[in-house]
Each structure stands twice: as C-alpha cells, then as structure tokens.
C-alpha cells in the first residue's frame, strides 16, 4: 500500500513539474562535465507550447544518454530510463533523442563533486608495478603521467631510470593516450604490471588485484576514500543527470527509488614479523620501567589498521627468572610486556615458532593466560595437537578471518601431540586439512608459517610447495617468518605468498639485514584481497623499530624486489 501511495505521489509531482517545465523556459543546470564533452546548449522541449494552460504539442519528455558508457554506467542509465518512463503521468511518454541539446533530461559522465542527481560512481584507482619503487605522487604528477608530460618515473623519485609505460584497459578502467599495452580487462592488466616495472594503469576499484600496486595521491590512499571523495585524487568518474531546476526535485526522487549498489565493507589488516621480547629487549624494558618501549615509534602505524597480527616469538611468564646470559637463545619476558602489544593494537599472534615453548608447558600456559586476559587471540600452540591446529577466528567489518599457525623449525622437539602441549607442526597433510576446514568457517583464511633458513634471501623449494598446497586448499594468502631477513613474495593462482617479513622487535644489530623489517598492509573489500603494500621499519637501540627514512626504504624495497624477481623468474614468469 505504501508503495502505491509513493508512486501516486510521484506521478502527481512529476506531472506538475512537467507542466511547469513546459510553461517556463529555464536554462539547464548542468553539472561539471569532462573537457572532451562540450557544455550543452539551452534545452529545446518539444512540448513547450501551451494554450490556456493545456499542452497543444505531443506530450513527450526527451532524454539523451551519452553513448559508449562503461558497462556499469550503461546498466544504471537503462534502469533510470525505465524508472523515469514508468513514473510519467498518463498521456506522457519518454522519447530517446540523438542530441543532448534536444533533450529535457540528459544522462552523461561528469567529473567534480557528487550531487543529488548522481546516478552512479565508478571509483578509479591509479596502479603501477610492485617493481616500481615510487609509491606516492602528487595530483599534479598524476596529471602529468596521464597527460604524457612526465615520461620517466625517475622524475617522481625513482632511484633509477624507469620509462613510464601507459596501459590502456579496454574494459574495467581508463583508456590512456599513447598506451603501449592494451589488456582486455583488469586481470590481464595485472599480468602486464608484473612484467613491466614502469607500467601505469587506471582501473576500477572492483577490478583491483593483488598483483597491482596502488599509488597514493597527495597523501591519500584511494582505497581508503569513499567514492564521493575520489576527486581528492583526481579520479572521480560519475554518471549524472542534468535537467532544468524545475525537474531536478522530481528526478532526484526517481533516482532515490532506484536500487542502491551494495558495496563490500573495506578493511585493512596489518602484519608484523618476528617479535622477540627477550634477552636485550627484556633488559631494556625492565631497566627503564617502560614495558611498551619497543612499540612507541610504530604504534601509530599499526593502529591505523582494523586488525593487526604478528609472530610472537617468546614466552610471557612470571614463573621463571630472566636468563642472565646476554647471549641466551631461550627467550622470555614478564607478563607486563603485554602492554606493548596493547599499545600497538595487536589483536592476534601466531605462537607456532621455535621459542614459544622455550620455558615449557608452564611458560606456554602463562603466555596464553596473559594474552587471553587482554583479549589477544592466538593460534599455532595448545595443550594438545588438536588444540594447536585450531584457527583463531576474528571478525572485521562483517568478515570472518581464520588465522592458523604452523612451526616448521622446532616441531620435532616442541611440537604438540595427542596428549601433550606444544606447537602445530608444518606438515603438508595437516596444513591442507586445516585450511580446507577453516574455509568452511571463515571468509578469509590466513596460514602463518614459521619456516625457512635463517639469514637468506630466498625460500626453499619445499617452502614454495607447501605454500602452494595451502592455497590449493583454500588459503587467501600465506604469511611467513623466521629467517630474520626480508625475503620476497610471489603469486600463485593470483594469491600472494609472503616468505619473510623480517625482524620487527629484536636485538640483532650485528648486521643491517637483521635490523630491517616491514609492516605488511593488506587491503580487503569483503573477502577479496584487493591490494597490499609494505611499510619498512628499522630497528635501533637494540629493541625498538621506527619508520624507515626514504633512503632506508629504498634499500629494503630493493631487497624484497630482488628476491621476488628471482622467484618470478624461476616460476617461468
């Protein structure tokens, strides 16, 4: 009944507006339009002549729809046209006209701020290759890249010459002038970006893939902006309706009754590498009385994420005295150190590593009690093997994430069994079983593997095989830790494998490589991983990471790139 009343009211309102529009010739109220489309002339209405308040011309409302719209815009325009036609009063008909100046209602693409007569928004994102070390540009620089006045990324801060290669998408993005490559869709574009370090493309946000690296513009992450604010990065692409002031109110009502697009909720997961709060780190915290000291410089970076996870590689226990040996390889700190995890906003940790059981079952139980008491989830360890294999289930923006942890280093002596505590072993059969089971419980499945060879740049073939098996079983991505060096990443079936994020909190200052780490930032829309990026950090004073400066960042990103390209080459990429 309410629907019928709303339709009846809309008919009356539209009828009145049409009569007024026919009686009074008004200039149109156009919204900003692209420079390639001339501003429309004053509308000429076929039913503009009235005699004694009654129309003598045919009662037609002319509508013009811009040709060759992107698919999503074309569908939205057709829906609007059908709804407007159905809303016309008896005796009126909607007529499609060929020229915008002959229409009372025009549907066209436009830039500029959103308006009540916005039919649809197409979020566009500038992307480049992961092998391009330029990560942020200004709006003017983006215009220069798109306009062809900037031809080399070195002009924008690349540490080496890198010619810019425009990539023009046939669907799902923008067609760029002077394009060297013309992939048919975003997925094909992703493969071009992996192969061409200097590539630049502009893709629809819904077509983003992890193989693409999103460029920040004027300090804005395009993925963090709602569609109505995309003009901040100069990539607002909207479908709007133009009409006289008299018709705008009723057209706004027609638009308001159209089905609204459903957008997946966006969220970010931050991941840190090895956190070892024992040995020198413990002594510094204890002597200073500041149990959050290691995290103070990086807490704001981690706190920006909706969910933060890490590898916690020590016991949090008050049942034992801290070892006096400054070179001990048994790592522990007191439960007070959980203050640092809380300051950093860490929500979950993997304990599947070769130091969580350094102080036995009691140390493990103390650690779990401390974490659980502060609401920090864990995975990869338990009183039994069955418990150690259980995922931590986390909720973010209506999406369920399953975090699993596996120990590929010390499970032979620290591993859990049927009736004894310990870590979950990195066994291919267990991993595939658990990932498959978790896929039925969660939208996103993330296994965290403690594996590999310390102080090396590349993973082993065995690591690559088990990572791929996890993805075949349903993993969204794979995380890795333990080498104490940054290592590269690769893609398998379009899903990323991060072999080592390096150290995050540790006292290994005897080499530059062991002081280096990254915060991995994963950008999701619903269950889909859309993009990722790295925020390099450098450990100083034997205990605290800080954001890397530009020079340090380049060194770390080159290491990751070198490792990744070697993996890509060995895969035949």
Look at residue 321 and tell me if it is in a domain.
no
Look at residue 510 and tell me if it is in a domain.
yes
Identify the weakest region by mean pLDDT among 225-229, 286-290, 364-368: 225-229
Look at residue 157 and tell me if it is in a domain.
yes
Number of domains comprising the chain = 3
Percentage of the chain lying above the pLDDT 90 cut: 76
Identify the weakest region by mean pLDDT among 250-254, 274-278, 438-442: 250-254
3-state class (DSSP) for residue 115: coil
Look at residue 407 and tell me if it is in a domain.
yes
- What is the DSSP secondary-structure string of 305-345? SSEEEEEE-SEE-SSSPPPS-TT-S--EE-GGGHHHHHHTT
Task: Find the CATH number of the domain harbouring 216.
Answer: 3.40.190.10
Between 89 and 48, the more confident residue is 89
Same domain, 461 and 538: yes
Mean pLDDT score, 55-70: 81
Instruction: Report the C-alpha dihedral over residues 344, 345, 350, 353, rounded to 10 degrees.
Output: 10
Which pLDDT band holds residue 35 (cuts at 50, 70, 90)?
very low
Look at residue 352 and tell me if it is in a domain.
no
Look at residue 497 and tell me if it is in a domain.
yes
CA-based diameter of the chain, in Å?
A: 103
* Residue of 377, 418, 427 whose CA lies nearest to 401: 377
For the record, the structure tokens of 82 come out as 């059908």
Q: How far apart are the first and last CA of the chain?
A: 61
Same domain, 439 and 385: yes
Cα 183 to Cα 31: distance, rounded to the nearest angstrom: 32
Identify the weakest region by mean pLDDT among 1-15, 73-87, 257-271, 412-426: 1-15
Which pLDDT band holds residue 573 (cuts at 50, 70, 90)?
low
Same domain, 96 and 130: no
Look at residue 542 and tell me if it is in a domain.
yes
* pLDDT at residue number 17: 54
**Adjacent-strand bridge partners of 87:** none
Identify the weakest region by mean pLDDT among 116-120, 211-215, 463-467, 557-561: 116-120
Whether residue 107 contacts residue 63, with contact meaning beta carbons closer than 8 Å, is answered with yes
Burial 331-358 (b: 16+ CB within 10 A, else e): bbbbbbbbbbbebbbbbbbbbbbbbbbb
- pLDDT single digits (tens) 127-155: 999 999 999 999 999 999 999 999 999 99
For the record, the structure tokens of 455 come out as 């102080």
Same domain, 411 and 483: yes
Whether residue 431 contacts residue 406, with contact meaning beta carbons closer than 8 Å, is answered with yes
Angle between helices 71-87 and 245-256 in degrees, nearest 10: 110
For the record, the structure tokens of 319 come out as 């049942």
* pLDDT at residue number 336: 98
* pLDDT at residue number 222: 86
- 542 burial (CB, 10 Å; 0-12 / 13-18 / 19+) is middle
Model confidence at 16: pLDDT above 80: no
Please tell me the number of Cα atoms within 13 Å of 280 on its side-chain side.
Answer: 12
Question: What rounded mean pLDDT belongs to the chain?
Answer: 90
Look at residue 351 and tell me if it is in a domain.
no
Which pLDDT band holds residue 51 (cuts at 50, 70, 90)?
very low
The answer to pTM > 0.85 is yes
Model confidence at 31: pLDDT above 50: no
Domain, as residue range, for 136: 124-233
Which pLDDT band holds residue 58 (cuts at 50, 70, 90)?
low
- pLDDT single digits (tens) 73-116: 999 999 999 999 999 988 899 999 999 999 999 999 987 666 77
Residue found under tokens 């037609």: 60
Percentage of the chain lying above the pLDDT 70 cut: 88
């Amino acid at each position: 009944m309410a629907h019928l009343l709303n339709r009846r009211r809309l008919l009356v309102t539209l009828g009145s507006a049409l009569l007024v529009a026919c009686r009074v010739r008004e200039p149109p109220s156009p919204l900003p339009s692209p420079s390639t489309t001339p501003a429309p002339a004053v509308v000429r209405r076929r039913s503009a002549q009235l005699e004694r308040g009654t129309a003598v011309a045919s009662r037609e409302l002319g509508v013009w729809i811009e040709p060759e719209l992107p698919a999503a815009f074309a569908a939205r325009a057709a829906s609007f046209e059908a709804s407007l036609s159905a809303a016309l009063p008896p005796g009126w008909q909607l007529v499609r006209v060929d020229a915008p100046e002959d229409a009372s209602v025009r549907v066209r693409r436009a830039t500029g701020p959103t308006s009540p007569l916005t039919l649809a928004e197409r979020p566009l994102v500038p992307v480049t290759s992961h092998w391009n070390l330029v990560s942020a540009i200004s709006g003017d620089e983006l215009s220069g890249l798109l306009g062809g006045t900037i031809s080399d990324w070195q002009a924008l801060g690349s540490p080496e010459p890198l010619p810019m290669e425009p990539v023009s998408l046939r669907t799902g993005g923008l067609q760029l002038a002077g394009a060297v490559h013309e992939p048919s869709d975003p997925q094909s574009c992703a493969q071009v970006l992996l192969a061409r370090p200097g590539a630049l493309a502009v893709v629809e946000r819904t077509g983003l893939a992890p193989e693409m690296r999103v460029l920040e513009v004027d300090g804005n992450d395009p993925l963090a902006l709602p569609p109505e604010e995309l003009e901040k990065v100069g990539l607002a692409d909207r479908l709007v309706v133009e009409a006289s002031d008299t018709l705008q109110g009723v057209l706004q009502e027609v638009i308001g009754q159209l089905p609204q697009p459903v957008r997946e909720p966006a969220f970010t997961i931050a991941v840190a590498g090895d956190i070892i709060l024992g040995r020198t780190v413990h002594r510094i915290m204890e002597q200073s009385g500041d149990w959050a000291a290691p995290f103070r410089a990086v807490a704001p970076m981690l706190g920006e994420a909706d969910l933060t996870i890490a590898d916690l590689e020590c016991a949090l226990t008050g049942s034992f005295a801290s070892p006096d040996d400054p070179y001990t390889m048994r790592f522990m700190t007191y439960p007070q150190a959980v203050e640092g995890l809380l300051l950093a906003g860490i929500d979950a940790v993997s304990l599947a590593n070769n130091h969580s059981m350094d102080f036995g079952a009691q140390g493990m139980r103390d650690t779990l009690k401390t974490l659980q008491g502060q609401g920090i989830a864990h995975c990869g360890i338990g009183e039994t093997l069955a418990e150690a294999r259980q995922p931590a289930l986390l909720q973010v923006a209506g999406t369920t994430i399953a975090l699993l942890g596996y120990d590929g280093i010390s499970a032979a002596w620290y591993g859990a069994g049927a009736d004894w505590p310990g870590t979950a072993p990195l066994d291919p059969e267990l991993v595939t079983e658990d990932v498959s089971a978790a896929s039925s419980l969660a939208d996103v499945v993330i296994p965290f593997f403690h594996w590999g060879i310390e102080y090396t740049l590349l993973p082993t073939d065995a690591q690559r095989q088990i990572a791929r098996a996890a993805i075949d079983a349903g993993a969204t991505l794979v995380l890795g830790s333990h080498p104490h060096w940054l290592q590269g990443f690769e893609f398998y079936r379009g899903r990323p494998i991060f072999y080592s994020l390096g150290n995050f909190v540790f006292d290994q200052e005897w080499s530059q490589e062991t002081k280096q780490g990254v915060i991995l930032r994963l950008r999701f829309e619903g269950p889909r991983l859309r993009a990722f990026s790295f925020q390099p950090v450098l450990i100083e004073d034997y205990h605290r990471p800080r954001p890397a400066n530009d020079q340090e960042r380049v060194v770390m990103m080159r290491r990751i790139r070198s490792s990744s390209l070697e993996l890509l080459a060995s895969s035949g990429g």
